Amino acid sequence: MTDINSKTPASKLTIGGNIYNAGNARDFKTGDWRSAKPVFIEEKCKQCGLCFPVCPDDSIPVNKDQKREDFNYDFCKGCGVCAKVCPFGAIEMKSN
């Protein structure tokens, strides 16, 4: 895959929505088009583990100690599911 930027001619772009290889979601950073952004408030987080399994984009990393970390905004679409399931208010949705 080549890097796509503002100078890439249309003839070099792939057709949107086509999947050419299985498991290629990590090749495409799609988080920059979200209209809302989840903000992780670490002090409120109890590490209950309810947020990361519901993230449809796998944008909530969990480290080797099984602790959640801040969002991976390269892939987060801003859907807000994580904020809805957090019982401690550790995730707030903010407008971009």
The confidence band for 82, taking pLDDT boundaries of 50, 70 and 90, is very high
pLDDT over 70 (residue 71): yes
Does the residue 91 lie in any domain?
Answer: yes
pLDDT digits (tens, 9 = 90+) for 44-57: 999 999 999 999 88
36 and 73 Cβ atoms separated by less than 8 Å: no
86-76-17-27 Cα dihedral, nearest 10 degrees = -130
Does the residue 75 lie in any domain?
Answer: yes
Q: How many domains does the chain have?
A: 1
Helix, coil or strand: residue 93? strand
pLDDT digits (tens, 9 = 90+) for 11-34: 887 777 666 666 666 777 888 888
Question: pTM score > 0.85 for this model?
Answer: no
43: domain CATH number is 3.30.70.20
Does the residue 21 lie in any domain?
Answer: no
For residue 78, the model assigns a pLDDT of 94
80 and 38 Cβ atoms separated by less than 8 Å: yes
Task: Tell me the residue range of the domain where 96 lies.
Answer: 30-96
The confidence band for 2, taking pLDDT boundaries of 50, 70 and 90, is low
Contacts of 93 (CB under 8 A, 6+ apart): 36, 37, 38, 39, 78, 80, 83
